[in-house]
Amino acid sequence: MTIPKLKALDGLDRDLRQSLLSQIRDLWTHSSTALEGNSLTLGETKFVIEEGLTVSGKPLKDHQEVMGHARAIELVYQGLGGTFTQSHLFELHRAVQSEVVADIYKPYGAWKVEPNGTYAVTEENRQTFIEYASPEDVPALMTEWLAELKRLAAEHLSEKDAVDAYTRLHLGFVHVHPFWDGNGRMARLLSNIPVLRSGHLPVVIEVRARKEYIDILAQYELASGQLTAETGVWPVEAQEAPFRAFCQRSYQATRHLVEQASEQQARRNRRHGGDAE
């Protein structure tokens, strides 16, 4: 496993650093895939990633998604020292989109070629359809999105500002919805790049917050309208506030794991009277 340069790892013994990174990988993978309907539990996710074995009675697709996401995290870590480009996005999509479909209308590691959207229920309890960006507008919109990723990844961000950067990138990516499938997992991976670059552990959205997460995204997308090359990726910045607050709350899951590791290190130090490696 590639070990990124993260502040939370400072002062921890080697085994505690490795354990914290494994916990983050497993929680991040489990949460992101479970948000999309994956049936593996957190414990089963850990087992599949570490042992490379299947869990009886669970779909093969679910195992492939978990392994693909863990691989994508590794690719993100490996790329933190450079600039993320369109080619990197396509490579990540090939890792995440573990189900390869022999269909020209469902490209693998390339932008979508057909329109896509989702059905939602508004706050007024009305049914509506959210139309994502048209395929012809995706290249221009994603060029803008990648430029913003590059700008935010180049800054040294506080924890709060890093989570806010995650919010902005996440909202933009899922509203464009540039791929035929895998957009949610891709957004939750890529939007963490500025967070990781600034030395913070990733934002992880837990599956228990799934309904609130989906509802806030739908409200944002309905308020912003369909994106085009003319509107740009972020046409109504004032609408970002609810999701920004949600992501700040969601970061508590990551903080909890860091606190656990720090407490374990402190107990060791008191017991042995020495310093961490």
Q: Is residue 184 part of an annotated ligand binding site?
A: yes
Q: Catalytic annotation on 177?
A: yes
According to the annotation, is 116 in a ligand binding site?
A: no
Catalytic residue among 63, 170, 175, 177: 177
Length of the chain equals 277
Residue 109 annotated as binding site: no
**181 among annotated binding-site residues:** yes
Question: Is 182 labelled as part of a ligand binding site?
Answer: yes
- Tokens linked to 17: 């650093």
Task: Tell me if 11 is assigned to a ligand binding site.
Answer: no
Task: Provide the annotated active-site residues.
Answer: 177
Q: Which residues are annotated as a binding site?
A: 181-188
Q: Which residues are annotated as a binding site for ATP?
A: 181-188
